[in-house]
Amino acid sequence: MAWLDKVSFSPRRLLRACTVGAAVLVGSGAITGVLADLGPGGTAPVRPFRLDQVRLGDGLLQEKRDRIKGFLRDYDARKFLVLFNNQAGRSNPAGVDPPGGWEDGGLLSGHWTGHFMTALSQAYADQGEEFFKDKLNWMVNELAECQDAITARMDGELSNSSSSDSSWIPTHPGYLGALPEDTVLRLGPPRWAVYGSSLDNNTWAPWYTQHKIMRGLLDAYYNTNNTQAYDVVVKMADWAYLALTVGDKNHAGYTGNLTRDDLNYMWDLYIGGEFGGANEVFPEIYQLTGDAKHLNTAKAFDNRESLFGAAVEDRDILVVPKNEIPGRGRRPERLHANTHVPQFIGYLRVFEFSGEQEYFEAAKNFYGWVVPHRGFANGGTSGNYPGSTNNVELFQNRDNIANAIAQDGSETCTTYNLLKLARNLFLHEHNATYMDNYERGLFNQIAASRADSESADDPLLTYFQPLSPGSNRDYGNTGTCCGGTGQESHTKYQETVYLRSADDSTLYVNLFIPSTLNWEDKGFVIEQETTFPRGDNTKLTVTGEGQLDINLRVPAWIRKGFEVTVNGEAVPGDEVKPGTYLTLSRTWQTGDVIEARMPFSIRIERALDRPDTQAIMWGPVLLQLLGNPSGGSGSFWELSLYQYLKLDGDYSSAAITQTGATASGDPLFTTADANLKARPYYIGDAQAVSSYFRRVEPKVVFGSLDTGVANLKRNDGLPNYDVPVTGIPSPGIDGPTFLDLVWDEAPFATHDAFVDAVTTVADAFVGAGVYTADERDAIVAKAGEAEQELAPES
Ligand SMILES: *[C@@H]1O[C@H](CO)[C@@H](O)[C@H](O)[C@H]1NC(C)=O
Ligand SMILES: *[C@@H]1O[C@H](CO)[C@@H](O)[C@H](O)[C@H]1NC(C)=O
Ligand SMILES: *[C@@H]1O[C@H](CO)[C@@H](O)[C@H](O)[C@H]1NC(C)=O
Ligand SMILES: *[C@@H]1O[C@H](CO)[C@@H](O)[C@H](O)[C@H]1NC(C)=O
Ligand SMILES: *[C@@H]1O[C@H](CO)[C@@H](O)[C@H](O)[C@H]1NC(C)=O
Ligand SMILES: [Zn+2]
């Protein structure tokens, strides 16, 4: 993207262009006609709409969103300024305290101010309620004053405050923070401060906090056109450039500019070196200003010593044995999930503005290591396993699902970032799998992360979402990472519903969420009406005229019965493949209607490494079993379900049936075995729930017919853990059972087809030495007798 280097940008000019829509004409002369969009995917073949172009309709997500908007409206914004004012030497109103939690003057202070600005800007973009913009404008203006007051001290201008907090003189101009500049600079040479709580000599993710503040300011600019936020964030970027090149020059031990090795060493420091997605904001500032130094700042964050190269080469080293730690031994054996996921979002942004392919490859490969190899049914990742260091925020070894869920896990802000990464990857490589994963995380862990109750002073968000059986969620999280990202998640539900090709020829309908897209540039309004995921159909009504390809997502979880009509006429079924997009290409007229029916089914998802450890899915929604397992805390519920299946293999007809609904319309289910209640994961309360259960199917049975033969397992084909789990053989000894493999072939068109499948699997088990010929014969004979048993109820 060399053209950016040559062009000098005028922010004011950019703003004027902004008034006509998402597509901004930048520069002049030779590059006239080059379109740029702000934020993720600025140069990608597929691009987002601005948040204010999509309005959310009534439904589950709007309910969640409105609760967090209530918090954003009522929470006292002056609390966010207290610590900044202290550093700037500005006074604070009496009786106003900082938010608390990690936002209490400790070493992570300041990050929540950024999140709150992002959330306010998104809340405003949604319905244009001036209230949110006014609150945001006030914060930005106060922060601008703080930034100016700090920089003014370089010229000997003293603050009016007697507070010793503001006695320090900055090294470089433009710094803004809730802590002294020194808390950032000391991370690097010559001091190499390490993680800890001393305000004098420790550090805690200072660049993570810088990122959050900068992100908040950029979002204020993008979503509300706050040009003061633009000015403040560019000054912060100027400061960051000097901090990461010249560095700590006023320190007595200073030896010169930072080197690549110095930067690598900084980023390898556990938690202290965590920089979040700092590298995502600098390419955006490069796009806005045209100043190439900001792209270099983004690259300064490359984690070159212990991860980046391996990601480019697709060598999964998220967890390594202690004696194989790469680099100078500073990085931990298990990488910290939420430290690294956002780094790869930043690499994508570098790719978008430098065109260097290795940044894209790194992001794509890294994502593939996490999903599916470390992904849980709720869309989350990471956890402990026997023999691992006791920290559930760290990645588990590859392919370890079942043995990493026995304890708390799945940090919410990691899923927030996984969604950002999946979405951003999709902008470049339009693989529907990214959207299947996005949808899973959105309707499960993210939707569930907000309690279904109101509060004016507590965000009521989750940190971990425990996956251990019979555990409950804790809601709160003032001042934490997840309490920050949560404010953002629930105010941007419309961000991925629709995307468009850069040339405006194609509209992607990715998610089934009630919403209205106002696509001014193209002259279309698309209204989507649906109760999804409480209901399983959607209706899109077109206003506007013209040629357009509408790519409608066909979810991978569809089993049968997906139907699309345009103006009541069926689109032929054989064109529809789950896990792809269906292209509806035509010249649309006002009043055209697309309807899609995507029947939900109960699906059983097995853990990769231990298939008897299972989750129940209802369409995109994880169902949780209610209550404490009868075996006591930490044990799993055990269920036998094959006896209830008919030839169609449909669990929802008898094994796990819908038996009611909540007042809000959330479906409630009952299991035939053990009579347990199950409900959608997204319901936000603190009841004891289980996301996983153990499948126990001791005998080969067909309906009520018992073959008298044990339902044995085949353990071949299980993954081999890349790093061992203490006490757990790898591959494990809990492979799929005989009945698992038979029912994997369902639905069966006829009873004969069923008997054929039984015979084939039984023969294979004989071949593998699992069953004797006599056992095989007994099984096949009983299958033949089971015609009545297995006939689906009509
Ligand atoms: C954004 O702000 C600038 C400067 O205040 C103004 O000229 C412009 O019209 C605004 N644009 C929009 C879309 O409000
Ligand atoms: C200090 O007070 C003077 C006079 O009231 C004011 O002009 C100046 O902006 C103040 N400085 C700071 C850093 O608040
Ligand atoms: C770091 O600062 C604390 C006080 O905050 C002090 O007790 C400790 O000795 C210092 N450590 C080092 C290594 O200087
Ligand atoms: C140190 O970095 C600054 C800022 O990038 C640069 O201007 C200067 O030339 C560098 N000095 C050396 C010796 O490389
Ligand atoms: C989409 O991604 C999935 C998962 O990585 C992969 O299996 C599949 O082949 C990809 N599809 C295409 C069309 O590239
Ligand atoms: Zn978190």
Query: Which residue's CA is the closest to the ligand 2 atom numbered 6?
Result: 160
The answer as to whether 749 is a domain residue is yes
pLDDT above 50 for 427? yes
Digit-coded pLDDT (tens) for 761-779: 999 999 999 999 999 999 9
Q: Among the atoms of ligand 3, which is closest to the Cα of residue 198? A: 5
What is the H or E stretch that residue 657 is in?
Answer: strand 656-661
Q: How confident is the model at residue 14 (pLDDT cuts 50, 70, 90)?
A: very low
525 beta partners: 518, 543
Residue 164 is predicted with a pLDDT of 67
Q: How confident is the model at residue 27 (pLDDT cuts 50, 70, 90)?
A: very low
- Closest ligand to C-alpha of residue 256 is 4
| Distance of alpha carbon 322 from alpha carbon 234, whole angstroms | 41
Concatenated DSSP letters for 514-568?
-EEEEEGGGTEEEEEEE-TTSSSEEEEEEES-EEEEEEEEE-TT--S--EEEETT
Query: Ligand 5: does its nearest atom lie under 6 Å from the Cβ of 365?
Result: no
Residue 160 is predicted with a pLDDT of 64
Query: Ligand 5: does its nearest atom lie under 6 Å from the Cβ of 501?
Result: no
Looking at this protein, which amino acid is placed at residue 615?
A
Residues whose beta carbon lies within 6 Å of some atom of ligand 4: 245-246, 257
Query: Ligand 2: does its nearest atom lie under 6 Å from the Cβ of 467?
Result: no
Distance in Å from the first CA to the final CA of the chain: 62
Lowest mean pLDDT among 160-169, 249-258, 678-687, 732-741: 160-169
The answer as to whether 613 is a domain residue is no
- Closest ligand to C-alpha of residue 149 is 2
Q: Among the atoms of ligand 4, which is closest to the Cα of residue 242? A: 4
Q: Which residues surround ligand 6, an ion (CB under 5 A)?
A: 411, 413, 481-482
Digit-coded pLDDT (tens) for 479-493: 999 999 999 999 999
Tokens in use for 24? 């901004």
**Which of 186, 194, 198 should be mutated for ligand 3, with most atoms under 8 A from CB?**
198
The answer as to whether 650 is a domain residue is no
Contact of 589 with 545, CB cutoff 8 Å:
yes
**Residue environment code for 23-55, b if the CB has 16+ CB neighbours within 10 A, otherwise e:** ebbbbeeeeeeeebbbbbbbbbebbbbbbbbbb
The tally of domains found in the chain comes to: 1
Query: Ligand 2: does its nearest atom lie under 6 Å from the Cβ of 388?
Result: no
| Distance of alpha carbon 484 from alpha carbon 621, whole angstroms | 25
Decide: residue 705, CB within 10 A, 0-12 exposed, 13-18 middle, 19+ buried. Answer: middle
Cα 197 to averaged position of ligand 3 atoms, centre (Å):
10
The answer as to whether 643 is a domain residue is no
Contact of 715 with 765, CB cutoff 8 Å:
no
Lowest mean pLDDT among 253-267, 297-311, 478-492, 630-644: 630-644
Query: Which residue's CA is the closest to the ligand 2 atom numbered 5?
Result: 160
Query: Which residue's CA is the closest to the ligand 5 atom numbered 2?
Result: 433
Residues whose beta carbon lies within 6 Å of some atom of ligand 3: 198, 200-201
Q: What is the mean pLDDT of the chain?
A: 93
Lowest mean pLDDT among 151-160, 461-470, 594-603, 612-621: 151-160
Contact of 125 with 225, CB cutoff 8 Å:
no
**Residue environment code for 103-125, b if the CB has 16+ CB neighbours within 10 A, otherwise e:** bebbbbbbbbbbbbbbbbbbbbb
Q: pTM of the prediction?
A: 0.94
- Closest ligand to C-alpha of residue 365 is 5
Digit-coded pLDDT (tens) for 523-542: 999 999 999 999 999 999 99
pLDDT above 50 for 172? yes
Over residues 197-211, mean pLDDT: 97
Residue 29 is predicted with a pLDDT of 25
In 681-793, the DSSP E strands lie at 689-690, 693-695, 699-702, 705-710
| Distance of alpha carbon 519 from alpha carbon 545, whole angstroms | 12
Cα 347 to averaged position of ligand 4 atoms, centre (Å):
24
Q: How confident is the model at residue 21 (pLDDT cuts 50, 70, 90)?
A: very low
Looking at this protein, which amino acid is placed at residue 71?
F
The answer as to whether 754 is a domain residue is yes
Q: How confident is the model at residue 167 (pLDDT cuts 50, 70, 90)?
A: confident
The answer as to whether 55 is a domain residue is no
Residue 156 is predicted with a pLDDT of 86
pLDDT above 90 for 408? no
Residue 335 is predicted with a pLDDT of 98
| Distance of alpha carbon 751 from alpha carbon 637, whole angstroms | 32
What is the H or E stretch that residue 56 is in?
Answer: strand 54-56
Of 596, 442, 439, 592, nearest to 526 by C-alpha is 592
Over residues 250-276, mean pLDDT: 97
The answer as to whether 774 is a domain residue is yes
Its domain, for residue 729, covers 707-794
Cα 480 to averaged position of ligand 6 atoms, centre (Å):
7
| Distance of alpha carbon 220 from alpha carbon 143, whole angstroms | 13
Contact of 229 with 218, CB cutoff 8 Å:
yes
Cα 429 to averaged position of ligand 5 atoms, centre (Å):
10
In 573-654, the DSSP E strands lie at 580-588, 593-597, 602-607, 610-618, 621-626, 638-639
| Distance of alpha carbon 283 from alpha carbon 298, whole angstroms | 6
Residue 279 is predicted with a pLDDT of 98
**Residue environment code for 155-174, b if the CB has 16+ CB neighbours within 10 A, otherwise e:** eeeebebebebbeeebbbbb
- Closest ligand to C-alpha of residue 254 is 4
| Distance of alpha carbon 669 from alpha carbon 281, whole angstroms | 45
The answer as to whether 653 is a domain residue is no
For residue 745, give the 3-state DSSP assignment: coil
Work out whether the CA dihedral 284, 289, 295, 301 comes out positive or negative.
negative
| Distance of alpha carbon 510 from alpha carbon 594, whole angstroms | 14
Number of Cβ atoms within 10 Å of the Cβ of 9: 17
564 beta partners: 596
Digit-coded pLDDT (tens) for 625-672: 999 999 887 799 999 999 999 999 999 999 999 999 999 999 999 999
Looking at this protein, which amino acid is placed at residue 737?
T
Contact of 399 with 722, CB cutoff 8 Å:
yes
**Which of 13, 14, 19, 137 should be mutated for ligand 1, with most atoms under 8 A from CB?**
19
570 beta partners: 565
Residue 4 is predicted with a pLDDT of 30
Contact of 135 with 145, CB cutoff 8 Å:
no
Residue 694 is predicted with a pLDDT of 97
Tell me the pairing of strands 515-519 and 546-554: unpaired
